[in-house]
Homo-oligomer: A and B are copies of this chain.
Amino acid sequence: MRIALDAAGGDFGAAPNVAGAVRALQTVPDLTVVLVGDQAQLEPLLAAQDGVPAQRLEIVHTSDVVGMKDKPTEALRRKPDASIFRCWQLLAEHKVDGLVSAGNTGAVVAGGLKTRRFLPCVHRPGIAAVMPNARGHSVVIDVGANVFPKPRHLLEYAIMGSVFAQELLGVSRPAVGLMNVGEEEGKGHELVQKSYELLRQGPLRDQFVGNVEGRDIPRGVADVIVTDGFTGNVVLKLSEGVFEFLMNVVRERLVESLQGEKEQAALAWRDLIGRYHYSTFGGAPLLGIDGVCLICHGASSDVAIANALRAAARFVQLRLNASLVAALEQLPPDGEE
C-alpha cells in the first residue's frame, strides 16, 4: 500500500520525517512512502540514511509549507500547493491509500474538509486519540477537528470510536462514555444533554455507560470517550502536560534522591516514559474520511513518524473504513440535526 507523508510537517522540519519513513519502510515490506516536500531538501537527507529501500520511496515535490502558526483557512486559500494539501490531493486522486502528517493539525483537518470525501452517513470527521489508562487504553474522539459540534456529530463519533476501539484495541464490545461534568443524567450544557439522548437511543445503547467525568478517563471507566473537539483537545494536551510535569518531579524528587539504587530507579522511570508516552501510539486518525489520515504530534521524532506510518498501513490493511461504513449504516436517519 501507498502512504503519503507530509515531509515538511512538524516542529523539526523534514529530518525526522525522512528518517521515520526509512525506518517504517525497513519493517513493513509492502509499504511505499510518498514523501511530499521540497526535493532539494529531501534528497540530501535521504542520501545520509543507510539501507533506504529506494524502489519503495517516491518524492512529490512542493516547496510550499503550512507553518505551525498559520491560520488553516488562510493557508488553504494562499498556499494550495502546500505539502499537506498536496497529500490530500494525492488521496483524492487515488494515488495513495492514506496520508500521515505531523504538521499544523488545523490545516490537516481543513484539507480533509475541503476534499469533502467523507464516508457515507458522516457529517463531520473527528480525530480519535488513544490514551493510556489504569486498565489499558481508551479512545477519545474528537480531539480537535470539530470544536463546536452538533449532537448528531457526537453520535457518529461514538460509532466510529467504538469500531476503532474494536479493531485497534481488540475490545469486543467497547464501553462508550459521554464526557461531562458529572455522572448523572441531565448534567452539562445543551450539547451533552441532547447527545446523551441520542446515545441512549442509538445503535450503541447497550454499550453506552452514560456520562463520564474527567477523572474517569485515566481510571479506564470507558473504552471510548465521546466529546466535542474543544474539550477533547484540552483533554489530550492536558494529559500530556500533566504526564510530563509529574514524571519530571518524580525524577527530580524521587529518583535523584536515591543513592545505591538510583540507576535501577532511573531505568524503571524510563520504562514508564516509554510505556505511557504519546509517541508509542502512532498518531491520531481523522476518522470519517474516505481514506486513511493520521495526525501526529508536532514534536514527533523519527520513531513517532515511523509508528504513524506503520499504523496507517495497518488501517489500510484492516480495511477499517469498511467496518466504519457497516457500523454507520445502523444509524437512524438524520432528523432535525
Roughly how many angstroms separate A236 CA and B214 CA in the complex, as a whole number?
A: 7
Verify B230–A214 contact, CB threshold 8 A.
no
Chain B neighbourhood of A259, CB < 8 A: 261
Verify A219–B190 contact, CB threshold 8 A.
no
Residue among A69, A230, A248, A255 having the largest count of chain B Cβ atoms under 10 Å? A230
Verify B234–A179 contact, CB threshold 8 A.
yes
Verify B245–A218 contact, CB threshold 8 A.
yes
Q: B181, B189, B241, B255: which contacts A215 (Cβ < 8 A)?
A: B241
Closest residue of chain B to A181 (Cβ to Cβ) is B233
Which 4 residue pairs spanning A and B have beta carbons closest together?
A214-B237, A215-B241, A214-B238, A218-B245
Roughly how many angstroms separate A7 CA and B240 CA in the complex, as a whole number?
A: 38
Verify A182–B106 contact, CB threshold 8 A.
yes
Roughly how many angstroms separate A248 CA and B246 CA in the complex, as a whole number?
A: 12
How many copies the complex holds: the figure is 2
10 A-B contacts (beta carbon < 8 Å): A147-B188, A214-B236, A217-B238, A218-B244, A238-B238, A238-B239, A249-B272, A253-B268, A253-B272, A259-B261
Q: B183, B188, B218, B254: which contacts A242 (Cβ < 8 A)?
A: B218
- Say yes or no: is A260 at the interface (Cβ < 8 Å to chain B): yes
Closest residue of chain B to A219 (Cβ to Cβ) is B241
Q: B216, B242, B261: which contacts A261 (Cβ < 8 A)?
A: B261
- Say yes or no: is A53 at the interface (Cβ < 8 Å to chain B): no
A173-189 vs B, CB cutoff 8 Å, 1 = contact: the mask equals 00000010111101111
Chain B neighbourhood of A218, CB < 8 A: 238, 241-242, 244-246
**A181 touching B265 in the complex, CB below 8 Å, given contacts A253-B271, A272-B253:** no
Residue among A133, A233, A234 having the largest count of chain B Cβ atoms under 10 Å? A234
Verify A246–B244 contact, CB threshold 8 A.
no
Closest residue of chain B to A268 (Cβ to Cβ) is B254
- Say yes or no: is A269 at the interface (Cβ < 8 Å to chain B): yes
Q: B144, B245, B246, B249: which contacts A219 (Cβ < 8 A)?
A: B245
| Interface contacts beyond A134-B245, A214-B237: sample of 12 additional A-B pairs, CB < 8 Å, sorted by A | A71-B186, A147-B189, A148-B190, A214-B239, A217-B241, A218-B241, A238-B239, A242-B243, A246-B246, A254-B268, A258-B264, A260-B261
